[in-house]
């Protein structure tokens, strides 16, 4: 069996759309989905992917919630999940990462999502498919998760790179969304928006351009990479980006800065410490 691609193009999805093995999952706003969506696509509320508890609402949901997600998506049927949204693929990427955590790598993200699909005037419908829940299938793969404790134990590991997908203002600490501002020591900043091509229907930028961006920041495939943002929404997109470029070992930190920045015991770094 060939490895499932991290990304699929609109053309590839169009070609496979009528296959019984394909299940499109749309994480767009409900009103947008209700108006029109890809034929056969089911809607998934983004909050079902989140633990939702403060101070770190982006943490993984409890096991029962993951089992329910598996049942709703019909994972026990062995279908190929293709995720999309209408906001740059951040939500779709979070589903992709979550499915990998659940030991289900037969999933992809539609590059450009509904923005590309609609702008290319591809097939749409307002008809909502019938859904039948199946038995849950969850086999946790912790190799794609970074916890606070894991990061603390690897802060001085030169074989591990930390990537902060937030804005530069959040990274340097001039914009504060937690009790403390700044970033995890040693992390490099890669604003997730800088990897999206706004002139090409919100697809990822060309591979060569992305590789140049990553190499300039010393984010190298030979190292393990850990991505984070505020709630592991934007950094799930960065996780997806790195996996799509063939990076072999990438972890996402679901606690992200909402956990790290609200914990008085974790070390932080600010702009003054980066550029004294």
Residues identified as active-site: 229
CA separation for the pair 71, 49 (Å, rounded): 14
Query: With the CA atoms of 256, 258, 260 and 265 taken in that order, what torsion angle do they form, in degrees rounded to the nearest 10?
Result: -160
Round to the nearest angstrom and report the end-to-end CA distance of the chain. 53
What phi and psi, each to the nearest 5 degrees, are found at residue 157?
Answer: -90, 110
DSSP code string of 39-90? TTPEE--GGGGS---TT-TTSPPPHHHHHHHHHHHTGGGT-EEEEE-SSSSH
Rg (CA), the chain: 18
User: Bridge-partner residues for 22, per DSSP?
Assistant: 80
CA separation for the pair 232, 270 (Å, rounded): 20
116 SS3 class: helix
User: Bridge-partner residues for 109, per DSSP?
Assistant: 7, 83
Task: List, in order, residues 6 or more apart from 93 with CB less than 8 Å away.
Answer: 83, 109, 236, 237, 239, 240
CA separation for the pair 262, 251 (Å, rounded): 21
What is the Cα 150 distance to its own chain's centre? Answer: 19
């Amino acid at each position: 069996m060939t490895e499932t691609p991290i990304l699929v193009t609109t053309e590839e999805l169009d070609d496979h759309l009528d296959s019984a093995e394909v299940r499109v999952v749309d994480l767009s706003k409900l009103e947008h989905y209700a108006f029109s969506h890809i034929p056969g696509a089911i809607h998934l509320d983004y909050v079902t992917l989140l633990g939702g508890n403060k101070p770190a609402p982006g943490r993984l949901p409890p096991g029962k919630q993951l089992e329910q997600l598996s049942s709703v998506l019909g994972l026990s049927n062995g279908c190929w999940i293709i995720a999309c949204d209408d906001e740059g693929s951040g939500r779709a990427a979070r589903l992709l990462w979550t499915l990998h955590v659940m030991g289900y790598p037969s999933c992809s993200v539609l590059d450009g999502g509904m923005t590309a699909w609609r702008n290319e005037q591809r097939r749409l419908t307002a008809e909502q498919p019938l859904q039948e829940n199946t038995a849950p299938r969850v086999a946790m793969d912790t190799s794609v998760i970074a916890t606070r404790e894991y990061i603390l134990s690897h802060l001085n590991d030169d074989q591990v790179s930390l990537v902060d997908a937030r804005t530069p203002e959040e990274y340097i600490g001039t914009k504060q969304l937690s009790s403390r501002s700044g970033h995890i020591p040693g992390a490099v900043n890669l604003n997730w928006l800088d990897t999206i091509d706004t002139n090409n229907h919100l697809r990822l930028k060309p591979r060569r351009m992305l590789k140049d961006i990553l190499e300039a920041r010393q984010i190298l495939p030979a190292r393990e990479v850990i991505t984070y943002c505020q709630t592991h929404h934007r950094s799930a997109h960065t996780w997806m980006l790195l996996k799509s470029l063939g990076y072999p070992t990438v972890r996402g930190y679901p606690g992200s800065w909402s956990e790290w920045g609200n914990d008085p015991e974790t070390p932080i770094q600010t702009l003054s410490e980066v550029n004294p």
